[in-house]
Structure 1
Amino acid sequence: MLIGSGIVVALIVVVVGWLAYSAFGIKSDLEDARVDANAARKAVLSGDQDAATSRAQAAASSAKSASDRAHGVVWAAAASVPLLGSPLKSVQEMSDTVADFATEVLVPTADLGAALDPSELRRGDTIGTAPLAAAQPQLAKLAAASDVYVTRVEGIDPSWLGQVADARDELYGLVHDASGTLNGSNVAAQLLPAMTGADGPRNYFVALQTPSESRGTGGLVGGFAILNATKGRLTAPELGANNDFRYPTTPQTDLGSDFNSLYATFHPYTDFRNANMSPSFPDAAQIWIANWHEVTGEQLDGAIALDPIALSYVLKVTGPLTLPGGEKITADNVVPITLSTSYERFADNNQARKDYLQSISKAAVKQLSTFKGDTSALLEALGRGVHERRIMVYSTDPDEEKILQTTNLGHEIGDVDAPYASVTIQNAGGNKLDYYLRRKLEYVAAGCSSDKRDSVITMQLTNTLDDLSLPDYVIAPNGTAFPIDKGTALSNVEFLLSKGATVKGVFVDDQEVLYQDGTLGGHPYVGAMVQVPPGKTVTVKVFATEPTWPGEAVVPVQPLVDNPEVTVRVPECGS
């Protein structure tokens, strides 16, 4: 018995030792694969195809080694043990996924290095899209394959062992980032050639939004430009302030009964200031395009919008703008100047302020059209603006618009059968106090046990204004009948809920209030007017009953001055 027990103990020691040795080898191999995979992705984006190919192949080799170790006889036997073997089985699945991903996605992506090289995208002041267009069919296949691997990693049980769970999260981040790059490149390959004039000239309405006075898509349009794209060369032959745009006196388009019932009293079709009240960018784009055609006879091919925060990201790459008088506009001062201090500087001369802001716009257009620096860094800056939904694009071509709506560029109300919460701030005071507003958004819903569940959407608004000596144009009510004090932000807070949701009540600081209701983009709409005095915080809550939709919650964020804190506690239910 003693001999038999000794043999069993010895076998256990050998097995545990072998598992430990294998685990060390697998960990080392996967870490090597992760490092090489990240290096390959960076090499692709920097245009170094040789390095990209070499590092991708190295990642595939290390991942294959990890997979072989994880399928050894001892490891496989231990992984089959119920509960105790769960972490080992998860490691097997991760090793297999990394090996397959490296072989089927990373290595072929590296072979497309020339097409994805940012330096090849720009030639002087022209966008060269031919290599990208030629690679589009292969990019589409790789993007689809990468999406499969994202789903595959999501399906790996993180198990009860923290180290394995952490490794699974790291793998998810790697695969998710690669999928984002490939999908973004595929979208660019489908859209950029035609939209930059490869098949003939294109003309776009460009809106410069100022989120110090909020609107549905971000901010009041302070200026505009007409952008021409011909064979990859972009020019802006016409720029103007908002009061330069001569609007027709009658509507030139009709966005439907839902839109009209919510916004008709603000005359969005004929008042330039209110064309972008809907949070759906295509709504604003169609109004601008239709009105431009009526006034000028020119048929535009789409519309673009951006704000000074997105411009600040670009200026970090391109360097400062120099105005005719020698003043420098930098990444650090462009936002406060355009959204705040210019109103103080030109408090008594509104036209001089508009002329000043126009000079900034002209300098920015010139800087971008002549920039010859790091294209990769410029694309990264633009990507940040897109990620934050600060850059929006609409195309009159239905096929192009359908693709745009799969990205943050589309900025459309999501037509999704999933948990949904969108909160939009509309400035109702006719001032610039939204520069001082800070937001916190929370979306909470009950579990998945029934076909309907309770949910709460909360928007907390804080007015950080601490200087009541600012010009009336900035802090006083202008054009509103509401009796509000200087410095008090008057905001219509608009909620879009999950499809099929029913509102139970709306509360402002725990007091139930009356609200406007309706429908927009297939989603129930709720609007409540609130006042936020300087230095104070106001909380608006919408209580609802919503269908227990499957999938991850969709919570788009309105691009204002702040990047709000967003909390989502909505369980991801099955189909």
Structure 2
Amino acid sequence: MSDNDRSTELKRASTRARNRWVVWGIVGVVLVVAAFGAWIAVRALQAKAELEAAQALMSELEAQGLAFDVYGAEATLEEIADHTDKAIELTSDPVWRVGEIIPVAGVNLAAFRELAALTGSVIDRVVSPLLEAAEGINPETLAPTAGVIDLGPLIAAGPAVAEASEGAADALKAVEAIDTSGTIEQLAAARARIAELLTDITPLLLRLDSTVPLLPAMLGSDAPRTYVVMFQNPAESRALGGAALSFAVLKVDGGKIDLESTAAAAVDFGKYDEPVVAMPDGAREVHGGSYGTSIADTTLRPSFAAASEITREIWFRHFGYWIDGVVSIDPVALSYVVGATEPITLSTGDVLTRESLVPLLLNEVYQRYSSADLVANNVAQDAVYGEAVSAMFTRLTSDLIDPGALLEALKLGWQEHRLLYWSAHPDEQAQLAEFGLHGEFPVSDASTDRVGVYFQDHVGAKLNFYLKQTVHLAKNNCRADGRESYRVTVDLQNGIDPVAASTLAPAIVGNSVMEGVRIGFQRMIVMLYAPPGSTIVARAVDGTAIGMDALHDTTYPVSRIVVTIPPGGVTTASFDIVAASPGSRALEALVTPMVNPTTVLDEALECGG
């Protein structure tokens, strides 16, 4: 072979070698890429399975939390944390992080990793502290033992609630920073679910963080407290609920609760010539001369803070000491509480149950004690009521009540505005206001206009036991200026049988004869509190327009209509309102809690109507 041939052959061999290395290099790269992709795909599937397993357990954890099953919730939380930790581990190795720089796929990997880490943070910094707090704040630990509430667990729960509140706030910021705009639909949906959860829970935890530390002091941890319990009677309605006819004094010291005494509005208190506190602008014109001068009529105005301030001042003038707060409850809420315990038998032989308490206290005792001696009737009726209250208190501070059922009963009473609380300590009241007070004027916002629909007996009777109410809310944009038109219609149905009207006891018909109202007829004041800045432009009774009044209570336009409802009949009052500013909003109503629940219906408004 010549030198040229040998040189050519060597060149060919070298080329073949290079080609083989290129081929194997390409194969190697392909294998590495394939292995890289397979590694990420496998870990992604595993992480997805772990997060789905954790998510599946969240509903179980929620149910256990609502049932205050702390031990079950802790076991479930361990499982969730285990799944979450594995998901974080699977999405945080160097290979995964390198994958995040790959176009298209990278944004999904980054979002997946961030969501997994965020889920773990929520478990560690929000859910775990809340479970720790639940060990101290739950129905069983808060239930009185021999009349004493152990304040230790409540005090210890404060730091855990603070930790959960801070963790939720940080998590909300973190989820808002996660960009899922270019990711697959499932990741965007997962982020939205977490964001919604944190948006709902974060404000609540912030409020709890400010209120939980107050509870021990409210229960006498620092110094003894004196509270007045106001019993409203919705059979004789007032805007806030019912006439304030009975009271009890509670002494609270270091968690020990004692029922010290009781008082009756008609027996223990007189009437003042002038209001005992300064009247808010317009309130006297709306509610008349009794407001602020009589303890029974402190509930005429739909503000529990105002009613409590009047009660506190009258209490001091009559008994010579200041009270630390006022708790209000009505017999309907009391019936919920009775449902949390065994039936209570009174000395009269009456048995208090959830079903029997309301008809007994709001109707049957008046029918039973109805002789010609009105004073004797009142004494007998008050005795039954007083014994029922005393028996209820004894049961509440005993071991015979179901703590979980009691919590649900109190929650329901609070939601229906039948259970109210006011503190005479400004710092506490300010914190409670942040939590959201019940028993105050309706507050509108950018998305919702809220009206107040309030009822008041206008005879001085207990006839509202037989009253049924329906509120219709209608709206439409019918004006050129873009302000919506609202119509609030109230149907009042008198459930008294016309044939049986003459058999009603004197205490039930009350001042009907003196007021010139036929027996069994109900005369009511229907009040509308419109949103500040809005205008009440028309009103009617049974479809017939009536003249306008020009009333206000602070910044709220107010209108009052007096209606009379015959036995077995229905009377309708309606109010037309023009919204304060242009735009479309929802329309809601806050309504006086009555004996019978009020039905609220949303309807369409005919612009030509």
TM-score normalised per structure 2: 0.75
* 1:491 aligned onto 2:513: no
Deviates more, 1:203-212 or 1:367-376: 367-376
Q: Quick check: 2:236–2:463 contact (8 Å CA) kept in 1?
A: yes
* 1:139 aligned onto 2:161: yes
- How far residue 522 of structure 1 moved from its aligned partner, in angstroms, is 2.6
Q: Quick check: 2:462–2:510 contact (8 Å CA) kept in 1?
A: no
Deviates more, 1:442-451 or 1:129-138: 442-451
The corresponding residue for 1:389 is 417
- How far residue 447 of structure 1 moved from its aligned partner, in angstroms, is 6.7
| Separation in 1, partners of 2:173, 2:136 | 27
Q: Quick check: 1:205–1:226 contact (8 Å CA) kept in 2?
A: yes
CA, structure 1 residues 150+414, in 2 after alignment: closer, same or farther (shift >3 Å)? Answer: farther
Pick from 420, 442, 447 the counterpart of residue 450 of structure 2.
Answer: 420
- How far residue 105 of structure 1 moved from its aligned partner, in angstroms, is 1.7
The corresponding residue for 1:112 is 133
Map 1:465-504; keep pairs closer than 5 Å: 465-468=495-498, 469=500, 470-471=503-504, 473=506, 476=509, 478=511, 483-504=516-537
Cα distance per residue 1:326-370 (max 9 Å; x no partner): 432112100111112222112222332122212211211222222
The corresponding residue for 2:243 is 220
Q: Quick check: 1:41–1:178 contact (8 Å CA) kept in 2?
A: no
* 1:311 aligned onto 2:334: yes
Letter paired with 1:110: L
Task: Quote the RMSD (CA, aligned, Å).
Answer: 4.5
The corresponding residue for 1:544 is 578
Cα distance per residue 1:110-129 (max 9 Å; x no partner): 23343223322244311222
| Separation in 1, partners of 2:90, 2:520 | 67
Q: Quick check: 2:51–2:84 contact (8 Å CA) kept in 1?
A: no
The corresponding residue for 1:411 is 439
State percent identity of aligned pairs: 25
Q: Quick check: 2:140–2:404 contact (8 Å CA) kept in 1?
A: yes
Map 1:173-188; keep pairs closer than 5 Å: 182=205, 186=209
Map 1:60-209; keep pairs closer than 5 Å: 60=81, 101-121=122-142, 122-143=144-165, 146=168, 182=205, 186=209, 189-209=212-232
| Separation in 2, partners of 1:148, 1:567 | 40
Deviates more, 1:247-256 or 1:293-302: 247-256
The corresponding residue for 1:15 is none
* 1:435 aligned onto 2:491: no
Q: Quick check: 1:432–1:474 contact (8 Å CA) kept in 2?
A: yes
SS of the counterpart of 2:212?
A: helix
| Separation in 1, partners of 2:538, 2:246 | 39
Letter paired with 1:211: P
- How far residue 406 of structure 1 moved from its aligned partner, in angstroms, is 3.5
- How far residue 515 of structure 1 moved from its aligned partner, in angstroms, is 4.2
* 1:210 aligned onto 2:233: yes
Cα distance per residue 1:207-232 (max 9 Å; x no partner): 11110111121011231111111111
Cα distance per residue 1:381-409 (max 9 Å; x no partner): 21111111111111111111112223465
Pick from 400, 406, 409 the counterpart of residue 378 of structure 1.
Answer: 406
Q: Quick check: 1:40–1:53 contact (8 Å CA) kept in 2?
A: no
SS of the counterpart of 2:434?
A: coil
Larger radius of gyration: 2
The corresponding residue for 2:19 is none
CA, structure 1 residues 538+129, in 2 after alignment: closer, same or farther (shift >3 Å)? Answer: same
- How far residue 253 of structure 1 moved from its aligned partner, in angstroms, is 1.6
| Separation in 2, partners of 1:505, 1:168 | 48
Letter paired with 2:464: D
SS of the counterpart of 1:243?
A: helix
Map 1:546-565; keep pairs closer than 5 Å: 546-548=580-582, 555-565=589-599
CA, structure 1 residues 118+487, in 2 after alignment: closer, same or farther (shift >3 Å)? Answer: same
- How far residue 196 of structure 1 moved from its aligned partner, in angstroms, is 1.4
- How far residue 139 of structure 1 moved from its aligned partner, in angstroms, is 1.4
The corresponding residue for 1:458 is 488
SS of the counterpart of 1:199?
A: coil
Q: Quick check: 1:430–1:478 contact (8 Å CA) kept in 2?
A: yes
Map 1:273-292; keep pairs closer than 5 Å: 273-292=296-315
| Separation in 2, partners of 1:133, 1:310 | 28
- How far residue 290 of structure 1 moved from its aligned partner, in angstroms, is 0.5
Q: Quick check: 1:30–1:95 contact (8 Å CA) kept in 2?
A: no
| Separation in 2, partners of 1:507, 1:241 | 38
Pick from 318, 321, 325 the counterpart of residue 295 of structure 1.
Answer: 318
| Separation in 1, partners of 2:117, 2:541 | 53
Question: Is there any run of 5+ residues in structure 1 with no aligned partner, and where?
Answer: 1-17, 157-162, 571-575
Letter paired with 1:564: T
CA, structure 1 residues 442+291, in 2 after alignment: closer, same or farther (shift >3 Å)? Answer: same
CA, structure 1 residues 308+70, in 2 after alignment: closer, same or farther (shift >3 Å)? Answer: farther
Letter paired with 1:441: V
CA, structure 1 residues 452+521, in 2 after alignment: closer, same or farther (shift >3 Å)? Answer: farther
Map 1:296-375; keep pairs closer than 5 Å: 296-348=319-371, 349-375=377-403
Question: Is there any run of 5+ residues in structure 2 with no aligned partner, and where?
Answer: 1-41, 179-185, 372-376, 605-609
TM-score normalised per structure 1: 0.79
